[in-house]
């Protein structure tokens, strides 16, 4: 079995070209670990559009609103579960109001309803803002009446820009980001020095003692010169899940046999990370949280 990695530039044309090269390659038996929510969402749509009989295993599919079919096998919690987890933990602490900051008008259009629905579920008042270019300026101009806790929906560079604007204000605020954000990169870019940042994660903490996490750290240390992160752990878990399903196939591994194997949606324990669909389209609702402290530590 050979693993082939394709890169796209984020545009629809680039994604279509990558998909066409895979679709037309008979040696490609499955798609595994598609990275980034927009790419995973777009690829799932192309599979449906072409009615392609090929498995789309363990994509980084954070969008909770899209309809998953019999080709896509999501094993990580979606944005809805992450928001609900974050808001529930805040209500336990007595927080009644939260602000939601969308990195752009695009994120606002895609995810505003998800955030509003999650806030309404826990009875929390919600105030929203959407970026329109300069997120540092947005961070600077938030008034004194802005909630102390802000939910940020966007990527790592956008979060860094926004928090740099917040740092110029006198009032202390806390930012809750979702799993698309890499706290280690935020730390390296110098953000979070005065604004504590909390991030939800769809995988266990990278310091956890679970067998799959220990194995991940061992492999990362042996093969790559980089620090453990939640996003690369997700890639490792995606690969382990794909391997476990393909290994269970009796006979020749083809597109048809691979798709049939994934469609069984059997429960798999990946060294402490359990994938269990239980009649649902998403195989896990696992959520953890980590915090980047002002002194530069990631704790969870």
Residue 66 is predicted with a pLDDT of: 67
What DSSP designation does 68 have?
P
Assign residue 10 a region (left: φ > 0; alpha: ψ between -120 and 50; beta: otherwise): left
Q: What is the mean pLDDT of residues 96-120?
A: 88
The answer, as to whether pTM is greater than 0.85, is yes
What confidence category does residue 106 fall into, taking pLDDT thresholds of 50, 70 and 90? confident
Superfamily of domain 79-201: Response regulator (3.40.50.2300)
pLDDT band at 86 (very low <50, low <70, confident <90, very high): confident
Q: Is the pLDDT of residue 130 over 80?
A: yes
Alpha carbon distance 26, 254 (integer Å): 9
Q: What is the pLDDT at residue 159?
A: 93
Q: What is the separation of C-alpha 171 from the centre of its chain, rounded to a whole number of angstroms?
A: 30
The per-residue pLDDT for 192 is 62
The chain-wide mean pLDDT, for the chain, equals 90
Nearest C-alpha neighbor of 44 from the set 27, 30, 61, 28: 61
Closest-CA residue to 125 (of 147, 101, 102): 147
Residues 25-63 pLDDT 10s: 999 999 999 998 889 999 999 999 999 999 999 999 987
Checking if the pLDDT of 279 tops 80, the result is: no
Is-contact 235 270, C-beta < 8 A? no
Token duo for residue 20: 């066409």
N-to-C CA span, the chain: 36
Checking if the pLDDT of 246 tops 90, the result is yes
Burial class (CB in 10 A: 0-12, 13-18, 19+), 116: middle
| Cβ neighbours around 96 below 10 Å, total | 11
Domain spans in the chain, listed from the N-terminal domain onward: 12-78+228-275, 79-201
**For residue 135, which of 79, 88, 175 has the smallest C-alpha distance?**
175
């Amino acid at each position: 079995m050979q693993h082939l990695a394709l890169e796209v530039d984020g545009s629809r044309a680039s994604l279509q070209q990558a998909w066409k090269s895979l679709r037309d390659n008979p040696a490609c038996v499955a798609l595994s670990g598609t990275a980034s929510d927009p790419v995973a969402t777009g690829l799932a749509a192309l599979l449906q559009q072409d009615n392609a009989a090929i498995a789309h295993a363990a994509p980084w599919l954070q969008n909770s609103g899209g309809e998953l079919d019999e080709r896509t096998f999501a094993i990580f919690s979606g944005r809805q579960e992450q928001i609900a987890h974050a808001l529930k933990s805040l209500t336990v602490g007595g927080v009644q109001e939260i602000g939601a900051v969308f990195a752009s008008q695009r994120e606002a259009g895609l995810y505003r309803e998800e955030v509003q629905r999650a806030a309404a579920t826990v009875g929390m008042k919600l105030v929203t803002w959407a970026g329109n270019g300069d997120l540092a300026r947005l961070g600077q101009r938030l008034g004194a009446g802005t909630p102390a806790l802000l939910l940020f929906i966007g990527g790592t560079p956008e979060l860094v820009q926004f928090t740099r604007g917040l740092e110029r204000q006198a009032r202390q605020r806390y930012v809750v980001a979702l799993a698309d954000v890499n706290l280690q990169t935020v730390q390296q870019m110098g953000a979070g020095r005065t604004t504590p940042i909390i991030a939800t994660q769809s995988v266990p903490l990278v310091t956890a003692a679970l067998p799959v996490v220990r194995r991940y750290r061992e492999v990362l240390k042996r093969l790559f010169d980089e620090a453990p992160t939640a996003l690369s752990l997700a890639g490792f878990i995606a690969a382990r899940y794909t391997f476990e399903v393909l290994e269970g196939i009796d006979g020749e591994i083809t597109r048809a046999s691979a798709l049939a194997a994934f469609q069984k949606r059997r429960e798999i324990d990946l060294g402490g990370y359990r994938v269990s669909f239980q009649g649902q389209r998403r195989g896990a609702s696992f959520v953890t949280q980590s915090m980047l402290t002002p002194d530069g530590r990631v704790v969870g």
